[in-house]
Amino acid sequence: MWGNCMRLYGASLAIVAMMTGLLTGGVSMADENAYGLVIHGGAGTLTRENLPPETEAAIRKALGDALYAGHRMLAGGGDSMDAAIAAVVILEDSPLFNAGRGSVYTWEETHELDASLMDGRDLSAGAVAAVRNVRNPILLARKVMEDSPHVMLAGEGAELFAREAGVELVDNSWFDTDFRLEQLHKAKKESDPSAMLNPLALDNKFGTVGAVALDRHGNLAAATSTGGTTGKRWGRVGDSPIIGAGTYADNASCAVSATGHGEYFIRHTVAHDVCARMAYREEPLSVAADYVVMDKLDRAGGDGGVIAIDARGNIAMPFNTEGMYRGYRVGSDDPVVLIFRDQ
Ligand code: ASP
């Protein structure tokens, strides 16, 4: 009797999990030999009306290119970390996203970039914060992980390390784009003095990029890169370079990359929380990710979303904003690129 009850309870949990997953972007593949890649280009209050068709097409193409680059490596037996980085570098080099080339402006009209990555095999990780002259911060984060005894380097010290590590450096103006400058000017004009203390009130279109990957050897990796938030001041750093907040990967559970209002993601250690719920509560990925983003974070007032993949190739992409630039390709299935909830 009790056994039947438990089985029924288990079955209903599975149905609820499946339905929640379907509602918020979970895809269940569950294959022992699965491999796959999920990417994002930021979440926010995107509306169809505010997105000109040419920009939408360019964004979809860039997401498709990033997916292609990373997935091709995985299909050929490549490493999840290499695949995640390959995808992120393409998005960093595109002026369309708030990372690398298209980074937003600080209040002082400069750019300060953050990035992090984590290897689920052994929990090794690397991160950089507030760098101004590193073309691809994700490549510097990898150097921190592989060639230094540290996890995170910030500001001038990180730049010095970049020089020694032979990472490509550029002038800060390399990140300039007219579109982002207009965004800052508009934000400054619209802001009231109190908004200066809360620069995020100025702009809730997050454009961080990220990738999570599972390779054919069962290894998970996560990578995230951002220009932060428009009009940020005082060396503000968000969740993207914080291991556990914006990025986390553990072969025992899942790999997660986040985008959204960083302060909330830091307070709620969002990326790690998804993995922890899988590890400690044995929740399926879609249930864990949905709870953290759609319930916990949402109740706290934090906007944004995550992409996640687990060791069996299940993926989840919940977001509590209007849209999230995202794409995935699992195994030999067709690639999928999405912006709004349904397309
Ligand atoms: N999470 C990033 C930050 O707070 C912003 C974003 O996702 O676009 O710096």
Please tell me the distance between residue 182's alpha carbon and the centre of ligand 1 in angstroms.
19
pTM of this structure: 0.90
Domain coordinates in residue numbering, the chain: 2-340
State which ligand 1 atom lies nearest to the alpha carbon of 262: 4
Tell me, yes or no, if 229 is annotated catalytic: no
Per-residue confidence (pLDDT) for residue 48, from 0 to 100: 80
Ordered DSSP codes for 223-271: EEEE---TTB-TT---STTSBTTTEEE-TTSEEEEEEE-HHHHHHTTHH
Per-residue confidence of the chain (343 residues) as pLDDT tens digits?
A: 444 434 344 344 444 444 444 445 565 544 557 999 999 999 976 778 778 899 999 999 999 999 999 999 999 999 999 999 999 999 999 999 999 999 999 999 999 999 999 999 999 999 999 999 999 999 999 999 999 999 999 999 999 999 999 999 999 999 999 999 999 998 888 876 555 555 444 455 678 999 999 999 999 999 999 999 999 999 999 999 999 999 999 999 999 999 999 999 999 999 999 999 999 999 999 999 999 999 999 999 999 999 999 999 999 999 999 999 999 999 999 999 999 988 8
Strand arrangement, sheet containing 220-226: 152-154, 124-131, 113-119, 220-226, 209-214, 36-44, 323-330, 336-340
Q: Hunting for tokens 């402006």 — which residue is that? A: 105
Ligand 1 environment, Cβ below 6 A: 42, 98, 206-208, 226, 228-229, 238-240, 259-260, 262
Secondary structure of residue 94 in the 3-state scheme:
coil
CATH topology of domain 2-340: Glutamine Phosphoribosylpyrophosphate, subunit 1, domain 1 (3.60.20)
Active-site pick, 208, 229, 259, 321: 208
Per-residue confidence (pLDDT) for residue 12, from 0 to 100: 46
